[in-house]
Amino acid sequence: SILRFADRCLDPEMRASFFSPRLME
């Protein structure tokens, strides 16, 4: 559900910046 929220509320670049560090950890 968090991914749906990000996909709808955040822009692709913002989403990448927000999730990239989390996915790398």
Q: Where are the domains of the chain?
A: 1-25
pLDDT at 11: 73
Q: State pLDDT tens for residues 1-25.
A: 666 766 666 677 776 776 666 666 6
pLDDT at 23: 64
pLDDT at 13: 75
- Residue entry with tokens 């692709």: 12
Question: 21 with 12: CB under 8 angstroms?
Answer: no
Question: 15 with 2: CB under 8 angstroms?
Answer: no
pLDDT at 7: 65
SS3 content of the chain, % helix, strand, coil (to 5): 85, 0, 15
